[in-house]
């Protein structure tokens, strides 16, 4: 039995790469309703208007980067426990610490393993 669009949990992916949007939709689209945007302003609007279950953030984005967006989301009381996964090409220990300090729940590096991302999201939602 497949879940209908209305019962699927919503994942919001914020990444300035259209290619990543496609990869994330392909990786998660069967199990989740996947929304994508390429900037922080639209992302903030979307988390207010949609029931976002998990937020995927790229660190490197123009204008407001993923770390700043993460800190902003964490500063809003209703989103302080929203699972946030940093999904980024930045893979140094320093970057990972920065991600966690900004409030990220988990930190995955690109290219990511689809199965690992799915398992991580399942774990965060249970």
pLDDT digits (tens, 9 = 90+) for 99-109: 999 999 999 99
Domain boundaries, the chain: 10-125
Q: Which of 66, 64, 52 lies closest to 107, judged by CA?
A: 66
Architecture in CATH for domain 10-125: 3-Layer(aba) Sandwich (3.40)
Q: What value does the mean pLDDT take over residues 2-11?
A: 78
Residue 59 burial by Cβ neighbours in a 10 Å radius (0-12, 13-18, 19+):
buried
pLDDT, tens digit, 9 for 90 and up, residues 66-95: 999 999 999 999 999 999 999 999 999 999
Q: How confident is the model at residue 30 (pLDDT cuts 50, 70, 90)?
A: very high
Please answer whether residues 107 and 124 qualify as being in contact, where contact means their C-beta atoms are separated by less than 8 angstroms. Answer: no
Q: Express as a percent the part of the chain with pLDDT over 90.
A: 93
Q: What value does the mean pLDDT take over residues 3-11?
A: 81
Q: Give the pLDDT score at 62.
A: 86
């Amino acid at each position: 039995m497949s879940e209908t669009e209305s019962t699927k949990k919503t994942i919001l992916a914020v990444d300035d790469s259209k290619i990543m949007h496609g990869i994330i939709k392909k990786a998660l689209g069967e199990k989740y309703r996947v929304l994508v945007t390429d900037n922080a302003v639209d992302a903030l609007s979307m988390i207010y208007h949609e029931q976002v279950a998990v937020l995927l953030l790229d660190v490197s984005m123009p204008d407001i980067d993923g770390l700043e967006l993460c800190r902003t989301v964490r500063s809003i009381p209703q989103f302080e426990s929203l699972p946030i996964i940093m999904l980024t090409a930045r893979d140094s220990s320093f970057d990972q610490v920065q991600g966690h300090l900004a409030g990220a729940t988990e930190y995955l590096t690109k290219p990511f393993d689809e199965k690992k991302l799915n398992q991580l999201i399942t774990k965060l939602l249970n």
